[in-house]
Structure 1
Amino acid sequence: MTSVTGTKRGAVQGVVKGVAAVSLLLLATGGFFAWQHFAPVSAATGWDYRVAHDDVPKAAGLAIDEQGNLLVTEELRKKQGAMRRIAPDGQRSLVLDGLTKPDGLTAFMGGIAFSQETGDAPVSLLKDGKVTTLFMANDGQGLKADGPLLYAIEDRKGDGRLMRYDARTLALEVLRDNLSESESIEICPGNKMLYTVKEQGVVRQLSEDKTDPVYLDGLKEPTFLLCDERGLWIVEDQTHQARLWLLDNSGKLQAVLSNLRAPQALLPTGPGHYLLAEGGRNRVLALSFTGN
């Protein structure tokens, strides 16, 4: 016959085991999230990286001005965002403040065009110290200049647009609408135009019949595209474990950098050299090719 004392002892032991199991689960879960947070960036064979500039809050857009200075946007909300200049010697200065989620950044018509990822905000041109409104956008993000043409894409759920602005005529044309979480537009060799669809994890190619077939899939939250002599670069905008991909000219897809946190724009600075804004760690990385 089982005693009352034995029953109580068994119940207590069961509670202790349950608490221990929950504690181990919480410890393991906490360890996993800590690993995600603190795991260092890793580079593929033949590549190396270093921190070029730290303490850059929510680093997002990157561009080089006509004096060779680096311009970087700080993608903060509620008019706390800014554009800063970093000189080759590392000295920093404020260019613009009072911005809301400044994101897209590109050289255009002798100045710098920039967007703000907020409702009904202008895509603007900074030139000779003055800011001029080019056109209005809703949650404008990616920008791509092509001579006097400026392409802009809106990061919205289901009603985003891809637009083309002509600086010669001041005309604004909507090329696509009803886009969902599209963040970047890029022009590749042969006038091939690509754009991301973040929620679908794909890159699409603009087509004349507007079907825009999938060019590359299987990605996780692709946010930024860059075409250069090495091929197509794709940045994933994930809070943890994001990657920088390169689809080279032979069709090989390689993760060049892994364990990134919310990376944004990639900027070429010379043969085999790039800068990458890593907004999730408030810094800009320098990426270099070290292989053959």
Structure 2
Amino acid sequence: MPRITSLLKCVADMTKKSSNLPESYIKRAMERTGWKTPSAVQYRKVQLKKKKYKFSVHRPWTQEFRDENWPGTQSPKVFVEPLLDWTFFKGDRVELLTGPDKGKQGIVNYVVQERNWVIVEGLNCTYKMLGEEFNYPGMMIKDEQPLLVTTQVTLVDPSDNKPTKAEWRYTEEGEHVRVSVRTGRIIPIPKQAEETPDYKTKSTYREQEKDTKESELTRITFQPKLKTFEMDIAEKMGIKEDRIPRKTFWYPVQHQDYEYEY
């Protein structure tokens, strides 16, 4: 797991949870190799992989993300303010602080934690024409633009529908909850935050034919043994080895220009 963690440390936890995909798949999907040696015996295996990725509204496992992070492409450096505690979730009601829709409230329908972005349904939109030709006027579509959670939006307290800052606190029972700083009331996490491409809520998900059954998770299917494959087969077939092998000794050869890796 350490290799997967080191590569995916730039992918936010909310992105992984909302995808409901294994981390190994996300790592394999976002990995970009710019150059590698041919797969032959005489070549040492060396790969030149991309280390810094550009994050946008596209998820790391999509084709749009791969196109934006194509090897050799240069993108302007983006500075993102680090947030220790993330307090915005899909389904939250927020109020805009800037732009032409300043003062309006809307529902968050998309979260990009890697860039401190949220997209609010129906607000902060741009308009663009598609399919405009000499004999066809085209079609205008509305495109919702991302907003920074640090300066451009703020949460709305559900108790009085007024803007407020939020922070994480513990109740007397030890529950970790999100609380309005202005009123001290708990702001519950919306049910929409639990949605993934596979289910709306975990409780309503139905097991599919190829899913691992819950009963199989507790059953031990493999018992490790200090035996080789041949020894295991011989034991199952009732074959006993009475021969005593001779003692052998192995001496590693050292060379001044090479270093052995074990």
Question: Normalising by structure 2, what TM-score?
Answer: 0.26
The structure where helix makes up a greater share of residues is: 2
The structure where strand makes up a greater share of residues is: 1
- Point out the structure with max Rg over C-alpha: 2
Q: Whose RCO is larger (CA < 8 A, sep 6+)? A: 1
Question: Normalising by structure 1, what TM-score?
Answer: 0.24
